[in-house]
Amino acid sequence: MSTQSNLAGAYLAKGTIGNVGMPGAQIVHFSLVVVPSQNSVNGAVQITQATQNGNYQGQVSGKIFATGFGTTTQVVSLRGNVHSDRVTPIEIPFEAHLALDGSWNGTGGFAYANTHVENVPVVAEK
């Protein structure tokens, strides 16, 4: 007996979460493989910020679901760990949630370390 993954309809989603252009704002850059038939999302995030704490990056996984709520056609939740770009090998829990239209634009939020950001734009990379 063999098992196969059903990856039909899988696609790559890239974009940002945060107030791009606002001085000092933390911005999450994401690159995710989305498999709607399995309601799964897996990929990488990179957090850039203009503070002395530096940038973070890591792997995430999560779920995607259709909503049927007007222009918000899908919701995505992400979880994983990020680590500093510095030498310190400490991993920090990361979570994000997104309310999106079919083009991966919408609103979301994220949390890591002592940072919690809500109600910021999510913009798909063109």
Dihedral sign for Cα atoms in the order 6, 76, 62, 89 = positive
Answer for the pair 106, 72: CB distance below 8 angstroms, yes or no: yes
Classified as helix, coil or strand, 38 is helix
What per-residue confidence (pLDDT) applies to 2? Answer: 39
* Domain segments of the chain as ranges: 11-124
Tokens 């997104």 locate to: 98
Instruction: Note the pLDDT tens digit of each residue in 21-76.
Output: 898 899 999 999 999 999 999 999 999 986 666 789 999 999 999 998 889 999 99
The pTM (predicted TM-score) of the whole model is: 0.89
| Helix residue ranges per DSSP H, 1-126 | none
Cβ contacts of residue 114 below 8 Å, gap of 6+? none
Pairs from 104-107 (Cβ < 8 Å, separation ≥ 24): 104/13, 104/15, 105/15, 106/72
List of E strands, the chain: 11-17, 27-35, 40-48, 56-69, 72-84, 91-100, 106-112, 115-124
Each residue of 71-126: pLDDT tens digit?
999 999 999 999 987 766 789 999 999 999 999 999 999 999 889 999 999 999 98
Give the model's pLDDT for residue 1.
41
